[in-house]
């Protein structure tokens, strides 16, 4: 298992060459990554941690994790000094949950500017007596574009969501969609950047399939 206290450590798991594709998890102090790293280990996907700009050079693709408050998460990310480097990345990069929201232009949570990689906004669900907020549970997700991220994942597969804010739907950037109160982007895609609102590491076999697909993009 990766020692999160060792910035220079990249995990090479049994049977996998340390010279093969590796995922760098961008660490900025927002969220527990245990379930993510546990999933990568189950799948024999090598990974390590990105703390500094030079750490980016060790990896072939990146994951931006995140849970909690998007505005606070963006503030923590800015404090790392990694924002310019992240925005300039040319390798596959995946934002998960709040990590996806960081890729948008603005979040209603904290009235905060985000990375502005995707020109869409993160908005709050309008809860009511029928639909509770936060949205917690399994939703069917429908792919809207062909992309290797969803290879071998059937239309309507269930993924696990926990969130109070959603990415406004825009067909130009929506890779897959779902509905809760309103239709929204379950995943987005632009060039080498991907985002998923659900938690693939908690979504069973199809979540693991998605992580495996990302490791091969």
Residue-wise pLDDT for 114-139, tens only, equals: 999 999 999 999 877 678 888 889 99
Catalytic annotation on 199?
A: yes
| First vs last C-alpha separation in the chain | 24
Residue from 97, 109, 135, 144 carrying the catalytic annotation:
97
The reported pLDDT for the residue numbered 72 is 92
Residue from 57, 171, 199, 208 carrying the catalytic annotation:
199
The reported pLDDT for the residue numbered 30 is 79
Catalytic annotation on 69?
A: no
The reported pLDDT for the residue numbered 131 is 84
Q: How confident is the model at residue 202 (pLDDT cuts 50, 70, 90)?
A: very high
Instruction: Of 5-14, 36-45, 145-154, 159-168, give the lowest mean pLDDT range.
Output: 5-14
Residue from 69, 144, 163, 201 carrying the catalytic annotation:
201
Mean of the pLDDT values across residues 51-56? 96
CATH of domain 23-216: 3.40.50.880
The reported pLDDT for the residue numbered 179 is 95
Catalytic annotation on 41?
A: no
DSSP result, 18-81: TTS--EEEEPSS-S--HHHHHHHHHTT--EEEE-SGGGGGG-SEEEE---S-HHHHHHHHHHHT
DSSP-derived letter for residue 103 is T
Whole-model pTM over 0.75: yes
Mean of the pLDDT values across residues 42-64? 96
Q: In the chain, what are the domain boundaries? A: 23-216
Q: How confident is the model at residue 29 (pLDDT cuts 50, 70, 90)?
A: confident
The reported pLDDT for the residue numbered 67 is 85
């Amino acid at each position: 298992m990766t020692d999160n206290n060792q910035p220079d450590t990249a995990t090479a798991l049994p049977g996998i060459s340390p010279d093969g594709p590796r995922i760098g998890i961008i660490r900025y102090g927002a969220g527990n990554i245990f379930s993510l790293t546990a999933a990568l280990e189950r799948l024999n996907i090598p990974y390590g941690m990105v703390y500094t700009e030079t750490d980016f050079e060790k990896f072939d693709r990146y994951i931006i994790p995140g849970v909690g408050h998007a505005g606070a998460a963006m503030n923590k990310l800015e404090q790392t000094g990694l924002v310019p480097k992240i925005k300039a990345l040319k390798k596959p990069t995946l934002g998960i949950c709040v990590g996806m929201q960081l890729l948008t232009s603005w979040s209603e949570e904290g009235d905060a500017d985000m990375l502005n990689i995707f020109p869409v906004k993160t908005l709050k669900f309008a809860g009511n007596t029928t639909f509770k907020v936060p949205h917690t549970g399994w939703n069917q997700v429908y792919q809207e574009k062909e992309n290797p991220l969803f290879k071998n994942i059937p239309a309507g597969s269930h993924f696990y969501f926990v969130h109070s804010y959603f990415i406004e739907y825009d067909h130009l950037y929506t890779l897959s969609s779902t509905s809760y109160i309103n239709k929204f982007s379950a995943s987005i895609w632009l060039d080498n950047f991907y985002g998923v609102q659900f938690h693939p590491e908690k979504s069973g076999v199809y979540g693991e399939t998605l992580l495996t697909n990302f490791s091969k993009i």
